[in-house]
Structure 1
Amino acid sequence: MADVIILGAGMVGVSAALHLQARGRDVVMMDRRGAGLETSFGNAGLIERSSIFPYLFPRDPARLVKYALNLLPEAHYHLAALPSVGPWLMRYWRESAPERVAKSVAARRPLIEHSLVEHEALIQQAGAGALIRRTGWIKLFRTQETLAHGVADAEKLRAFDLHIDILDAAGVAAREPFLAPVAGAAHYLDTASVSDPGGLAKAYADLFLSRGGRFVRGDALSLEQEPDGRWSVAGPDGARIAARDAVVALGPWSDQIFRRYGYEMPFGFKRGYHMHYAPGPGATLNHPILDADNGYLLAPMARGVRLTSGAEFATRDAPPTPVQIELCEPIARDLFPLGAALDPAPWKGARPCLPDMLPVLGPAPRHKGLWFDFGHAHHGLTLGPVSGRLLAELMTAETPFTDPAPYRADRF
Structure 2
Amino acid sequence: MRYKVIVVGAGMVGTSIAWHLQKHNSQVLLLDKRPPGSETSYGNAGLIQREAIHVHPFPRHLTELIRVLPNQKTDIRYHWSAVLRHHQALLKYWQFSAPAAVQQIEEEWKTLIEHCTNEHQHMIAAAGAEALVRRDGWLEMHRSKDKFGMAVAAAKKSQEQGIEHQVLTIDALKRLEPNGNFDGFIGAIHWSNSWQVSNPGALVKAYAKSFQQMNGSVVEDTVKAIKPDSDGWQVITDQQSFYTDELVIAAGPWSNQLIKPLGYDLPLFPMRGYHQHFKTTVQNTINHSLVDMDKGFVMGPMQQGIRITTGAEMTLMEAPKDLGQLQAVLHFAKQILPLNEVVEQEAWAGSRPCMPDMKPVIGAAGKHDHLWFAFGHGHQGFTLGPITGRIVEELIHNKPLTVAVEPFDANRFSKA
TM-score, with normalisation over the residues of structure 2? 0.96
Residue 280 (structure 1) shift: 4.4
Aligned partner of 2:211 among 188, 208, 217: 208
After superposition, the C-alpha distances for 1:250-293 in whole angstroms (9 at most, x for unaligned) are 00000012212111221111111000011344331111111011
**Equivalent residues in 2 for 1:13-92, closer than 5 Å:** 13-92=14-93
Q: Is the 8 A contact 1:217 1:235 kept in 2?
A: no
After superposition, the C-alpha distances for 1:166-187 in whole angstroms (9 at most, x for unaligned) are 0011111111111112211011
- The one-letter code of the counterpart of 2:347 is P
The equivalent residue for 2:222 is 219
> Kindly tell me: are residues 313 and 237 of structure 1, through their superposed partners in 2, closer, same or farther at Cα, counting changes over 3 Å?
closer
- The one-letter code of the counterpart of 2:226 is L
After superposition, the C-alpha distances for 1:199-229 in whole angstroms (9 at most, x for unaligned) are 0000000011111011112122332222x14
> Kindly tell me: are residues 98 and 27 of structure 1, through their superposed partners in 2, closer, same or farther at Cα, counting changes over 3 Å?
same
Q: Distance in 2 between matches of 1:214 and 1:198?
A: 19
The equivalent residue for 1:115 is 116
**Equivalent residues in 2 for 1:357-372, closer than 5 Å:** 357-372=358-373
Once the two structures are aligned, what percentage of the paired residues are identical?
37
Task: State the SS of the aligned residue for 1:384.
Answer: helix
Q: Distance in 2 between matches of 1:77 and 1:237?
A: 37
Residue 306 (structure 1) shift: 0.5
Q: Distance in 1 between matches of 2:351 and 2:87?
A: 17
Residue segments in structure 1 that go unaligned for 5+ positions in a row: none
The equivalent residue for 1:378 is 379
Runs of 4+ displaced beyond 4 Å: none
Aligned partner of 2:235 among 208, 228, 233: 233
Q: Distance in 2 between matches of 1:78 and 1:200?
A: 33
The equivalent residue for 2:171 is 170
The equivalent residue for 2:322 is 321
Q: Distance in 2 between matches of 1:204 and 1:109?
A: 24
- The one-letter code of the counterpart of 1:219 is T
Is 1:302 equivalent to 2:303 in the alignment?
A: yes
TM-score, with normalisation over the residues of structure 1? 0.97
Q: Distance in 1 between matches of 2:49 and 2:61?
A: 26
Q: Distance in 1 between matches of 2:269 and 2:205?
A: 26
Residue 345 (structure 1) shift: 1.3
The equivalent residue for 2:400 is 399
Q: Distance in 2 between matches of 1:104 and 1:312?
A: 23
After superposition, the C-alpha distances for 1:368-403 in whole angstroms (9 at most, x for unaligned) are 111101111000100000000001000000011121
The total of aligned residue pairs comes to 410
Residue 235 (structure 1) shift: 5.8
Task: State the SS of the aligned residue for 1:279.
Answer: coil
The equivalent residue for 2:338 is 337
Q: Distance in 1 between matches of 2:238 and 2:91?
A: 42
Q: Distance in 2 between matches of 1:107 and 1:229?
A: 35
The range that moved more, 81-90 or 158-167, is: 81-90
Q: Is the 8 A contact 2:81 2:316 kept in 1?
A: no
Task: State the SS of the aligned residue for 2:262.
Answer: coil
Is 1:387 equivalent to 2:388 in the alignment?
A: yes
The equivalent residue for 1:135 is 136
- The one-letter code of the counterpart of 1:248 is I
> Kindly tell me: are residues 75 and 223 of structure 1, through their superposed partners in 2, closer, same or farther at Cα, counting changes over 3 Å?
same
Residue 104 (structure 1) shift: 0.8
Task: State the SS of the aligned residue for 2:333.
Answer: helix
Q: Is the 8 A contact 2:221 2:239 kept in 1?
A: no
- CA RMSD for the aligned pairs? 1.3
Q: Is the 8 A contact 1:46 1:191 kept in 2?
A: yes
Q: Distance in 2 between matches of 1:333 and 1:62?
A: 29
Task: State the SS of the aligned residue for 2:275.
Answer: strand
Q: Distance in 1 between matches of 2:143 and 2:294?
A: 6
Q: Is the 8 A contact 1:216 1:236 kept in 2?
A: no
Task: State the SS of the aligned residue for 2:261.
Answer: coil
- The one-letter code of the counterpart of 1:245 is E
The range that moved more, 388-397 or 85-94, is: 85-94
Q: Is the 8 A contact 1:279 1:339 kept in 2?
A: no
Residue 119 (structure 1) shift: 0.3
Is 1:94 equivalent to 2:95 in the alignment?
A: yes
**Equivalent residues in 2 for 1:268-279, closer than 5 Å:** 268-279=269-280
Q: Distance in 1 between matches of 2:281 and 2:208?
A: 34
Q: Distance in 2 between matches of 1:155 and 1:89?
A: 32
The range that moved more, 246-255 or 67-76, is: 67-76
